[in-house]
Amino acid sequence: MKQILLITDGCSNVGVSPVVAAAQAHAEGIAVNVVGVLDQGDLGEFGSAEIEEIARAGGGLSRLAHTRQLSQTVQMLTRKTVVQTIQHAVHRELKQVLGASSIEELPPEKRGEVVRVMDELSETSKLRVALLIDASASMKPKLAAVEEAIRDLALSLQARQGRSEIAVFHFPGSAHGDECLLDLDWTTDVRGVHQFLPRLQMRGTTPTGPAILRVVDHFRAPAPRSYRNPDETDGQMSDYVV
Amino acid sequence: MTTSFDWRLPRGTVIRGKWKRSSYRVERLLGEGANGKVYLVERQRAWYAMKIGADAVDLQSEINVLQAIANAKLVSRSEPYLVEVDDYSGTDGKEYPFYVMRYIRGATLSDFLSKRGMEWFPVAGYSLLVKLSELHAGRWTFGDLKAENVLVSDYGRVELVDYGGVTAFGKSVRQFTEIYDRGYWNAGSRSADAGYDLFSFGVLCIQVYDARRLAALAGSLLPQNRSPEELLKLAQSIPALRPLGDWLAKALRGTFSNVEEAAREWQQWQRRTSGRSSSVVPRWMKGLFVASAALLATTIYWLLRTGA
């Protein structure tokens, strides 16, 4: 199972529409979840509508969350989407085997067995979650909470029986016109990673759409490191020193 | 992980099952779990607890656990815990799955202790450990152990409620509450095992004695600085918990090998504390004893002298 989890606080303003990009991800079997993160106030009508639409196009879920509930929201969305992906697969089977189109249509006695299989699959299937973090200027005060949520998600995923990996990207990338940069490649364990996201070089633009497409590319890539420009990465690494 | 729906069922609402056609009358809301709301309901003059949820899969998954526990006969009960499973067609046209269970009369652990006194804590704690050991014998972890999920009836008898977090050993814990979570305190994984519940139990001990400072500690520490040692430091500053220090250290550091061992050492602590309170005699009382003995001796001496 493949998921992209976009954490953002505003509207995209550069490049391809994020809704189109999410639809592309969905077409390639990647579910896109979106968390709109709030500090004070709200995202505005535009922002909320956009995150909802990105998730809908990406076959995932969207939620608005305060920085305080970010960890819980991130985990809830990830888990729900895993269950949903399995539910879609199970629904196809249900039609063929039992003639019912959804679990709700089955009498309670028959639901038990189906749900047991679903629970087992949710726990044991392979899972890859790419976290795509909006690191534009307005997100800066929220990045500590974002990092905590990433760590917490990694801890929960580690407890699963199936292999679970996460990768972390942020956008906008450097001043050289990159839409998105890889901060942490597929890994099962984030202990020892001091800091995921750079705290400097925040620019004003929010190229959400191009960034999603870049992550979709990364899912396709057999050799994960090929999308990383080594010079860029080194430049980023030096910023990690606190 | 709240996935609950927003509506409340008003008192008197009649819930009729879609499949089995049994009717239940809603009395009042008892509580709320992650997968749904629990109501006190009445059917043919008997009280039951009804959990009603929005998501058939989430609720069924909880029902599966309850059935597995019932089938394994882990818990010695005269009446069945799970009474009925059905769907309710709500007034909004949607269908809501529900299950009916035995109604357990009791107060949450915190309420019970504040009403009856902290002297009940050792007994209630011990019976909670026994409850956990019954579950663990079937290789289940309770998962979401917290003060709200422990109901205490008269004489400190304990029942666990909300089985939404119950997880087979070795799998990822299905539901947890941050402040009681081993992972949150950087004290280990979120995989279900005996130690996971014992860690939450350890936090629970601190919670019942000083909930305010526990919350303050969790709020003030940076995520990377949360640790069992910080919890132990807090426990050490609570006089009533000081004698339980060694036990808490084992629970929070995960060094108990199982709940039985934890229960045995809990008993030893109970014995020590109950023994101690009777052997320790305040100084003034000792002084008074010496004084009255001296007085008695003088009186006898005087009586003998005058009698002679």
> Binding site for ATP: which residues of B?
51
Of B146, B135, B136, whose CA–CA distance to B34 is shortest? B146
Search chain B and give the residue with CA nearest A121.
B171
Which one is predicted more confidently, B106 or B196?
Answer: B196
pLDDT confidence of residue A232:
39
User: Is the pLDDT assigned to residue A234 strictly greater than 80?
Assistant: no
Å between B97 CA and nearest CA of chain A: 8
pLDDT tens per residue across span B52-71:
998 888 899 999 998 888 88
Domain-located, residue A166? yes
The Cα–Cα gap between A148 and A69 comes to: 11
Domain-located, residue A16? yes
pLDDT confidence of residue B281:
54
Which residue in this structure is represented by tokens 């600085």?
A: B225
User: Is the pLDDT assigned to residue B299 strictly greater than 90?
Assistant: no
Q: How many CB pairs under 8 A join A and B?
A: 68
Domain-located, residue A41? yes
What residues are paired with A63 via a beta bridge?
A: A35
Å between B117 CA and nearest CA of chain A: 34
| Chain B residues with beta carbon closer than 8 angstroms to that of A65 | none
Which residue in this structure is represented by tokens 């929220």?
A: A142
The Cα–Cα gap between B221 and B225 comes to: 6
Which residue in this structure is represented by tokens 């309770």?
A: B142
Residues B8-15, mean pLDDT to the nearest whole number: 92
pLDDT tens per residue across span B81-105:
789 999 998 888 888 999 999 898 8
Search chain A and give the residue with CA nearest B193.
A159
Task: For residue A106, give the DSSP letter.
Answer: S
pLDDT confidence of residue B76:
57
Which SS3 state, helix, strand or coil, does residue B168 take?
strand
Decide if A156 and B1 are in contact by the 8 Å CB cutoff: no
Domain count for chain A: 1
Domain-located, residue A47? yes
Decide if A161 and B61 are in contact by the 8 Å CB cutoff: no
Task: For residue B172, give the DSSP letter.
Answer: B
Q: What is the CATH number of the domain that holds A144?
A: 3.40.50.410
pLDDT band, very low/low/confident/very high, at A217 (cuts 50, 70, 90): very high
pLDDT confidence of residue A240:
37
pLDDT band, very low/low/confident/very high, at B278 (cuts 50, 70, 90): very low
Write out the residues of chain A at the interface with chain B, using a CB-CB cutoff of 8 A.
71-72, 75-76, 79-80, 83, 87, 103-104, 107-109, 111-112, 115-116, 118-119, 123, 148, 151-152, 155-156, 158-161
Amino acid at A234: D
- Please determine whether the domains at B14-102 and B107-274 fall in the same fold group of CATH: no
pLDDT band, very low/low/confident/very high, at B80 (cuts 50, 70, 90): low
Q: What is the dihedral of CA B137, B143, B144, B145, to 10 degrees?
A: 40
pLDDT tens per residue across span B134-192:
999 999 999 999 999 999 998 888 999 889 899 999 999 999 999 999 999 999 999 99
Q: What is the CATH T-level fold of the domain B107-274, as seen in this structure?
A: Transferase(Phosphotransferase); domain 1 (1.10.510)
| Chain B residues with beta carbon closer than 8 angstroms to that of A79 | 1
Å between A178 CA and nearest CA of chain B: 32
Q: Residue B232 contacts by C-beta under 8 Å, 6 or more apart in sequence?
A: B245, B248, B249, B252
Decide if B87 and A161 are in contact by the 8 Å CB cutoff: no
The terminus-to-terminus CA distance of chain B in angstroms comes to 88
Burial class (CB in 10 A: 0-12, 13-18, 19+), B224: exposed
Decide if B57 and A83 are in contact by the 8 Å CB cutoff: yes
Region class of A140: left (phi > 0), else alpha (psi between -120 and 50), else beta = alpha
Q: Residue B228 contacts by C-beta under 8 Å, 6 or more apart in sequence?
A: B185, B187, B199, B202, B249, B252, B253
Q: Residue A200 contacts by C-beta under 8 Å, 6 or more apart in sequence?
A: A239
How far lies A142's CA from each of A66, A69, A148, in Å?
A: 10, 12, 10
Task: For residue B9, give the DSSP letter.
Answer: P
Residues B9-22, mean pLDDT to the nearest whole number: 93
Domain-located, residue A123? no
Residues A17-45, mean pLDDT to the nearest whole number: 89
pLDDT band, very low/low/confident/very high, at A23 (cuts 50, 70, 90): very high
Q: Among A93-97, B173-177, B270-274, B287-291, where is mean pLDDT lowest?
A: B287-291
pLDDT confidence of residue A201:
61
Search chain B and give the residue with CA nearest A160.
B172
Å between B60 CA and nearest CA of chain A: 6
Residues A76-91, mean pLDDT to the nearest whole number: 86
pLDDT confidence of residue B272:
84
User: Is the pLDDT assigned to residue A157 strictly greater than 80?
Assistant: yes
A209 and A8 in contact (C-beta within 8 Å)? no
pLDDT confidence of residue B123:
94
User: Token pair for residue A61?
Assistant: 């879920």
* Per-domain residue ranges of chain B: 14-102, 107-274
Residues A39-61, mean pLDDT to the nearest whole number: 84
Q: To the nearest whole percent, how much of chain A has pLDDT over 70?
A: 84
A37 and A228 in contact (C-beta within 8 Å)? no
Question: Strand pairing of A164-171 and A127-134?
Answer: parallel
How far lies B84's CA from each of B14, B63, B97, B98, B167, in Å?
A: 16, 10, 11, 8, 22
pLDDT confidence of residue A226:
41
pLDDT confidence of residue A227:
45
Write out the residues of chain B at the interface with chain A, using a CB-CB cutoff of 8 A.
1-3, 19, 56-57, 60-61, 63-64, 67, 85-87, 95, 97, 170-173, 178, 183-184, 189-191, 223
| Chain B residues with beta carbon closer than 8 angstroms to that of A109 | 85
Which one is predicted more confidently, A226 or B130?
Answer: B130
What residues are paired with B50 via a beta bridge?
A: B39, B100
Å between B113 CA and nearest CA of chain A: 30
> Binding site: which residues of B?
51
The beta-carbon neighbor of B189 closest among A79, A108, A158 is A158
Which one is predicted more confidently, A222 or B157?
Answer: B157
Class of domain B14-102: alpha beta
Decide if A151 and B223 are in contact by the 8 Å CB cutoff: yes
Q: To the nearest whole percent, how much of chain B has pLDDT over 70?
A: 91
The Cα–Cα gap between A238 and A235 comes to: 6
B197 and B143 in contact (C-beta within 8 Å)? yes
The Cα–Cα gap between A11 and A138 comes to: 11
| Chain A residues with beta carbon closer than 8 angstroms to that of B178 | 71-72
Backbone phi and psi for residue B303, each to the nearest 5 degrees, phi listed first: -60, -45
pLDDT confidence of residue B41:
97
Domain-located, residue A112? no
Domain-located, residue A88? no
pLDDT confidence of residue A155:
92
Domain-located, residue A187? yes
pLDDT confidence of residue A236:
40
Q: Among A8-12, A144-148, A221-225, B217-221, where is mean pLDDT lowest?
A: A221-225
User: Token pair for residue A230?
Assistant: 């080594």
Residue numbers of the domain that contains A35: 2-71+128-237
pLDDT band, very low/low/confident/very high, at A70 (cuts 50, 70, 90): very high
Q: How many CB atoms lie within 10 A of CB A15?
A: 17
pLDDT band, very low/low/confident/very high, at B275 (cuts 50, 70, 90): low
